[in-house]
Structure 1
Amino acid sequence: MVGTLKSPALYSQVADLVRKRIFQQELRPGDRIDEVTLAEELGVSRTPVREALKILDADGLVILEPRRGCRVRVLEHKDLEQLFPVMAVLEGLIAGEAVKRTDGKEMANLERIHQNLEDAAAEGDIDRYYEHNYEFHTRLQELCGNPYLQRVAADLRRILILARHRQLKAPGRLQDSLQEHRDLMAAFRKGDAEAADAQMKHHLLEQGRTLMEKEAARH
């Protein structure tokens, strides 16, 4: 984040920049965000920074604590236990609807993204795998054609980004995730909406199970 921001909606720009840092793991769960330091870095007053952090707090990405400042949210076991089953249902619906709207051109695009997943997994590149995985899920949201479903799923995905990357670092999880994507692609190639829905639910629930196991092992 370099340079001075110039816009009537400075708080929105600041929120976007901090959100990007969180998504790229420059800011990690539990990290403190200092208003003064951030304002100085961006060349703005503390007011747009404070407003930006309020937006991110409402999004569930940070936690504003009275007299203690702001920190990036840490998803606890209970959060994971509650979030992933809901997200599994939503993304299952998205996948099922996306199958019905996938033509030859869109299928070729999904095949391209999936091949990128295959390549990243073969190299053991978790960061690149995650980026292509995010692209894949985003494309399915766009394909599903239901703006209400897209909106709810997108809101929850922003929160789950705080944890999803961690699950890929569990032993064997990268290859398991890839196999789940292979099974999902098989459903898309067959045009089987029901199978795509079921496979996507399984994919999300496996992510949640892995994360909860990692969380339990820490305590």
Structure 2
Amino acid sequence: MAVAGQPLHDTVAIQVRDLIFAGTLAAGELLDEKALCDQLSVSRTPLREALKLLVSEGLLRHEPRRGCFVETVTERDLDDIFPVIALLEGRAAYEATKKLSSADRAVLDVMHEQLTHYAEAGDIAAYYRMNHQIHEAFITLADNRWLAQAIADLRRILRLARLHQLRAPGRLQASLQEHLDIYAVMLTGDADAAEQTMRNHLLQQRKALLRITPLSMSRIAL
């Protein structure tokens, strides 16, 4: 459904992006434009404009005379990306710590309580969603649009990989403890320590992915 004031191809891009993130469109899959037009109830023109946008984001790969394929990300890509996003999100934690207010703390307290609840219940999907919201909250608090954009670009690639890493043995509880540690440090006002703790958290995600044999032996859908 189109959003008022939003170009149709942007709406279509959101829908196709969701299909990629959900795994409905698998890594390496050739997109069937006619089937997508039927599924999304749109003509080829807005669909093709949407696909161009997703190619520019790195989610799709266009091959002349063949069409668009869902892009894949390799182990080498992950090795290159995780240290970079660790630096960026570490900086976000640093800036967020400097700007944390009592009102912000009240909201974050509740979010971390919910995160703990989902971890204890073993609800990986709900944990992942709250995990994402907490990271987004820190980035919003940092209030640095250039930092936010750089992180968003890399997160598109890591989105599914982060969900998979929570399935590594013991990773869910370890991730929870890392989050609680980050927040505890932020509450002390020590921005430098918050930055380093966040960096360590992101690097631990990469290590967790390496412990998942099926994932480490294959490619990951963006």
TM-score (norm 1): 0.90
| Counterpart pick for 1:195 among 190, 193, 199 | 193
Give the superposition deviation at 1:36.
0.8
Closer, same or farther: CA 6–149 of 1 in aligned 2, 3 Å: closer
Counterparts of residues 53-132 of structure 1 (less than 5 Å): 53-132=51-130
**1-structure distance, mates of 2:3, 2:111:** 34
**1-structure distance, mates of 2:118, 2:71:** 28
**2-structure distance, mates of 1:5, 1:137:** 26
Alignment size in residue pairs: 217
Does residue 1:156 correspond to 2:131, yes or no? no
Unaligned runs of 5+ in 2: none
**2-structure distance, mates of 1:110, 1:211:** 27
Give the superposition deviation at 1:74.
2.3
| Counterpart pick for 1:179 among 154, 177, 180 | 177
Unaligned runs of 5+ in 1: none
| Counterpart pick for 1:12 among 5, 10, 13 | 10
**1-structure distance, mates of 2:174, 2:218:** 22
Aligned-partner SS, 1:140: helix
**1-structure distance, mates of 2:28, 2:168:** 20
Give the superposition deviation at 1:31.
4.1
Per-residue deviation, residues 57-102 of structure 1 (Å, max 9, x unmatched): 1112222233443333222101100000000000000001001111
The percentage of aligned residue pairs carrying the same residue is: 45
Closer, same or farther: CA 200–144 of 1 in aligned 2, 3 Å: same
Larger RCO: Structure 1 or Structure 2 (Cα < 8 Å, ≥ 6 residues apart)? Answer: 2
Q: For the Cα contact (< 8 Å) 2:2–2:11, is it kept in 1?
A: no
Does residue 1:133 correspond to 2:131, yes or no? yes
* One-letter identity of the residue aligned with 2:92: I
RMSD: 2.1
Aligned-partner SS, 1:33: coil
**2-structure distance, mates of 1:121, 1:109:** 19
Aligned-partner SS, 2:179: helix
Q: For the Cα contact (< 8 Å) 1:85–1:205, is it kept in 2?
A: yes
